[in-house]
Amino acid sequence: MTTVRLECIRYGKRPDQPGGARISPLSGGFGGAHCHRTSEECGLYAKSRYRVPVKIQLLPSSFDEHGIASLEQRLSCYVVDDCVAIDAGSVALAVNSAQRGAVRDIIITHPHIDHIATLPIFIDDVFATLQEPVRVHATAEVITLLERDIFNWTVYPRFTELSNDRTRVMEYVPFRPAEEFAVKHLKVTAIPVNHSVPTVGLIFSDGETTVGFSSDTGATENFWHAVNRLPRIDALLIEASFPTALQQLAVISGHHTPASLRRELHKLIHAPLDVLVVHLKPAYREMLVRELVALDIPNLSVMQPGREYAW
């Protein structure tokens, strides 16, 4: 049994989180209300009279010898408000039972295995209990690749052709880059970024809180133009995969180092905001953490798997 510490952040960030003990930007009247959306609330947020923060959790994907989630990130899956997954690397491994029952929308930024590894297993897990399909949101290009390379009756079944007693179990919902689309209570815009395969970064908002997620990318302009056009942004999840000594490898493979991350953040006009660094290659994690600390950028920290962040 895996023990993953899941903390409810009712009033914003924990005092020991980088960025300080400040209250997240709640507009009052929140104390005593639900600390986050239940699965039932997830699609009903517009009707809520309380300001409910957007909550994001990077699901763990590595475990120590006792089965406890470790800080190393090998797979990518970010669960927003317990009901929308961004990428699906560890979705089947590390969702809690409530999330397993509520996540029916999964946005795939690109088809690399660390971002889709357990998507087939997740659909297998929930197959018999589904009342509605699992909707996989992706560009047409990525959907074609998923059908060709994963859901091809060889690697795994083509779930879009299968149903349980009540519903088809999986369906694709294509989106176009730069055109806003809705996923549950979120408005999402996908921006093509600079990676070795077709990849989008995401900007999503519940109408109050706006978050940017770079996905896997090297230096890019379009993503920053899109972020800078926003009136405000509350948090940015951005990757740094390789240490600066491996800058050439990072450029070739479409990733960042701490040095290129710093250059990218100079393109951002919004400040201050929380910057959470993700996708640190486990082999270089200690070095990356040292380099990121040395950047001395206010409100920048490494995102911890399992922890809930709220804005």
Pairing of strands 274-278, 235-239: parallel
Please report whether residue 255 would count as binding Zn ion according to CB under 5 A.
Answer: no
| Contact criterion met (CB below 8 Å) for 292 and 244 | no
Site size with Zn ion, rule: CB under 5 A: 3
Residue from 13, 112, 137, 184 touching Zn ion (CB under 5 A): that is 112
Q: Which helix (H) or strand (E) holds 250?
A: helix 247-253
Smallest gap from Cβ 130 to Zn ion, in A, equals: 28
Q: Does 114 bind Zn ion (CB under 5 A)?
A: yes
CB of 149 to Zn ion, least distance (A): 14
Please, what sign has the CA dihedral across residues 304, 183, 88, 238? negative
SS3 176: coil
| CB closer to Zn ion out of 206 and 216 | 216
Report residue 259 as tokens: 């040095």
Q: Nearer Cβ to Zn ion, position 92 or 169? A: 92
Residue 212's H or E segment, with its range, is: strand 210-213
Token reading at 304: 């911890």
Least distance to Zn ion from the beta carbon of 54, Å? 23
125 binds Zn ion (CB under 5 A): no
The H or E element spanning position 56 is strand 55-58
Beta carbon nearer to Zn ion, 73 or 210: 73
Q: Closer to Zn ion by CB, 52 or 85: give it.
A: 85
- 285 by Cβ neighbours in 10 Å (0-12 / 13-18 / 19+) ranks as middle
Decide whether 114 or 141 has the Cβ nearer to Zn ion.
Answer: 114
Site string for Zn ion, 210-249 (x = CB under 5 A): ------x---------------------------------
Q: Which residues are at the interface with Zn ion (CB under 5 A)?
A: 112, 114, 216
